[in-house]
Amino acid sequence: MGRVVKTFPEPFKIRSVEPIALRPAAERRRLLAAAGYNLFRVHAADVFIDLLTDSGTGAMSNRQWASLHEADEAYAGSQSYARFEAAVRRVTGFSQVIPTHQGRAAERILFETILRPGDCVASNGLFDTTRANVERMGARGIDLPEPAALDPADGAPLKGGMNIPAFRALLAHERVKAVVLTCTSNAYGGHPVPLGNVHEVSALCRAHGVPLFIDAARFAENAGLLLLRDPTVRGRTLRDVALEIFAAADGCLMSAKKNGLAHMGGFLALRDPALAEALRNNLVVTEGFESYGGLAGRDLDAIAIGLEEVLDENLLMWRLAQVDRFAQALRSHSVPLLWPAAGHAVYIDAGALFPHLPAGAFPGHALACALYLEGGIRACEIGSLMFPGNDTRPQLTRLAVPWRTYTDAHLAYVAQTAATIAARQSEVKGYRIVSAPTALRHFRAVLEPVAVAERSERVAAAAQTAAAAR
């Protein structure tokens, strides 16, 4: 099996291409302002290189595309579901398999079934939709990341796990209804969860009768990073390491748009038939019949093939090497990063890049906007805009790399664009929220630059003064 070799070429050839175009700078300024300075509101056709997410944005393989023609679209008991179920069982070891239309549907169904107001869900780091689905049930999501994950400058190779002393203390004082171990820890830099941490969390969960679920969206990248960075697992296979993580848990929930290498879909998989029955009852009412869960048969087949392809060690090691080369390119331009790099993305430490911007001015979002204005690049803030009420967390900008989509030349352009911004970092201004929904505000918020906000406040104050004079 190959490891990360810097010059190792793509283990595939490209047979279809999509033209992309860089809009003129003046047009990008107009488009971003029209979108309320929210990159989720910018049309994809107006983006040159799209690193907003790796969720459903990768290129499917020829086998996945070919499977669409053999898919069985029967409403109940389709052959596509049988192939999907078998693949999930092989990869996870869980016997109960429940398809959903995407990861957040799996989160909703699980938490609606097991949570009540006042409960809490502990995690090494709940991501945005997971937290939102916990909180909509009146429960609390409590992040207990490793201390090293909170320090962007700490280069520890394995810092994606849960803070064990803090978890013990939480179990002693709170009504912990479930634990979600996110592999990799996307909310805190995409770092891998080590096997030892998985087993420690599992043992504490068993001792307290708390079910443990793996957020398996990037399970293969977690296993691959462990093979590269953890000497205790060297020589093992990706499949073996992944199975050991799943074996320590009671179940998993997954967005198959990530390490399922598909454009749509997700699932719940677990051991307990009674809980699975309750989840299926919810599924049938809200998503679809239990053998399709809101998905077409062609989606089920694409996921079944993707789950096998993602465990191809040549493909995965090329993937990790590409992200690593991207991170090294950014570092060569003195752009501050969380280090070492994640398996699916590079996280720029926007708080360090823009020391003049406080957390309340959303430095991670400021960098994301600057990347679009400078180079037509779309990225995602992971900081105080996405996770309000926690200004002590790292202020990050995530550059997520879609699978099998961009070449090293594309990513070198992104690194050069970031270097241009870093060279005039003091000129970058912060943002404030004009309007936003209460849940998942980063998706639909309208913002404005701080300079505009300050001018708006002066205009409003002048109007009030004039009105008082009249």
Determine the Cα–Cα distance for residues 460 and 470; give it in Å rounded to an integer. 15
Between CA 465 and CA 470 the distance in angstroms is 9
Q: Helix (H, G, I), strand (E, B), or coil: what is residue 287?
A: coil
Cα–Cα distance measured from residue 263 to residue 403, given in angstroms and rounded to the nearest whole number = 11
Q: In terms of C-beta density within 10 A (0-12 exposed, 13-18 middle, 19 or more buried), how is residue 424 classed?
A: exposed
The token duo for 65 is: 């595309």
Tell me the CA distances in angstroms from 374 to 297, 420, 424, one per residue in order: 42, 8, 12
Catalytically active residues, by annotation: 75, 127-128, 215, 217, 258, 442
Question: C-alpha angle with apex 106: 105 to 112, nearest 5 degrees?
Answer: 85
Spatial CA neighbour of 405 closest among 151, 52, 8: 52
With 0-12 / 13-18 / 19 or more C-beta atoms within 10 angstroms meaning exposed / middle / buried, residue 440 is middle
The residues that bridge with 448 in the sheet, in sequence order, are 432
Q: Are strands 446-449 and 431-435 parallel, antiparallel or unpaired?
A: antiparallel
Helices and strands (H, E) in the chain, number of each type: 17, 14
Q: Is 400 helix (H, G, I), strand (E, B) or coil?
A: strand
Q: In the structure encoding, which two tokens stand for residue 171, read together? A: 């179990």
Exposed e or buried b for every residue in 320-358, given b needs 16+ CB within 10 A? bbbbbbbbebbeeeebbbbbbbbbbbbbbbbbbbbeebe
- Phi first, then psi: what are they for 370, rounded to 5°? -65, -40
Task: Please say whether the beta carbons of 403 and 261 come within 8 A.
Answer: yes
What is d(CA 284, CA 279) in angstroms, rounded to the nearest whole number?
Answer: 9
Q: On the CB side of 108, how many CA atoms lie within 13 Å of its CA?
A: 14
- Interhelix angle 195-208/238-247, nearest 10 degrees: 20
CA separation for the pair 317, 196 (Å, rounded) = 22
